[in-house]
Amino acid sequence: MSLLHDRTHPTQRPPSHNHLLAALPTGEYQALLAQLELVPMRLGEVLYEPGQQLRHAYFPTTAVVSLHYVTAAGASAETVGVGRDGIVGMALFMGGDTTSGSAMVHIAGHGYRIESRALLRAFRAGNELHRLLLRYTQGLITQVAQTAACYRHHSVEQQLSRWLLATMDRSPPGELVMTQELVAGMLGVRRESVTVAAAALQEGGCIRYRRGHLTVLDTSALQTRACECYAVVKQELQRLLPAMQPDDHRRPMSLTG
């Protein structure tokens, strides 16, 4: 998979830029700060692979991470995306220290990592972090189930619309750049299928697509082209975590390749 482009704006933000951390009470947030380490999250970096023991969890702030299931033949598709809305490393506090999938950075930026033992201590204290992580996990379960149905029943155009909207929710303001090949890998489809879907969205006024460059122009129109999966997942996260609302889509997003 070719990963050629990086974010085009500064990416270092405070821990509170992560919605889960920002939702913590002041005292709990301050106590956790000493355990957090700012780390760059580079495009294409694999944070963990299937069966690998997890030593850290990650709270992305400007990066977006894709959780994948990889087949024995090497094919893969995204099951969950995680950005400033959540945490990577759910298996740690759910009772396991390994996972059957992989986690790869698909939008470069930064995040904060925490050692597994420190996260477990904070989680087992039974405070607000415990409640937030369990509710976030329930939201991810909804996303996994809805994504599976989406891949089976909805068109590539609908899937692309859903994926673009969700990615914009998880990333900070500023132009995003990535390859068509990367998006095809996220959706588990051929690159040519992404090209056809992008052309259809352009005809509908949702995006501008020229010479391999795609920019979202009208998010409302894009929402009408997306399947119901985007709204189902977003509404469930809003129900479970009402204090963690994403910013409005008032910025461009570009896809190249």
DSSP 54-69: P-EEEEESS-EEEEEE
Give the pLDDT of residue 253.
57
φ/ψ of residue 81, rounded to 5:
-110, 140
pTM: 0.84
Q: Is the pLDDT of residue 103 over 50?
A: yes
Across residues 19-41, what is the average pLDDT? 94
Give the pLDDT of residue 187.
84
Instruction: Choose among 18, 169, 33: nearest CA to 84.
Output: 18
- What span, in angstroms and rounded, lies between the C-alpha atoms of 162 and 228? 9
Residue ranges matching CATH 2.60.120.10 in the chain: 15-150
Across residues 13-31, what is the average pLDDT? 93
Order of strands across the sheet that contains 102-107: 46-48, 102-107, 64-70, 76-82
pLDDT tier, 30 (very low <50, low <70, confident <90, very high otherwise): very high
Give the pLDDT of residue 8.
39
Instruction: Choose among 33, 41, 46, 48: nearest CA to 64.
Output: 41
Residue ranges matching CATH 1.10.10.10 in the chain: 154-255
pLDDT tier, 20 (very low <50, low <70, confident <90, very high otherwise): very high
Amino acid identity for residue 255 in this structure: L
User: Lowest mean pLDDT: which of 4-18, 24-38, 95-109, 140-154?
Assistant: 4-18
Q: Is pLDDT larger for residue 207 or for residue 35?
A: 35
Across residues 156-178, what is the average pLDDT? 81
32: helix, strand or coil: helix
What is the CATH T-level fold of the domain 15-150, as seen in this structure? Answer: Jelly Rolls (2.60.120)
Q: Is pLDDT larger for residue 175 or for residue 104?
A: 104
pLDDT tier, 144 (very low <50, low <70, confident <90, very high otherwise): confident
| Number of Cβ atoms within 10 Å of the Cβ of 119 | 23
Across residues 46-59, what is the average pLDDT? 90
Does domain 154-255 fall under CATH 1.10.3470.10? My reply is no
Where do the DSSP E strands lie in 49-201? Answer: 56-60, 64-70, 76-82, 102-107, 109-115
Give the pLDDT of residue 173.
64
pLDDT tier, 252 (very low <50, low <70, confident <90, very high otherwise): low
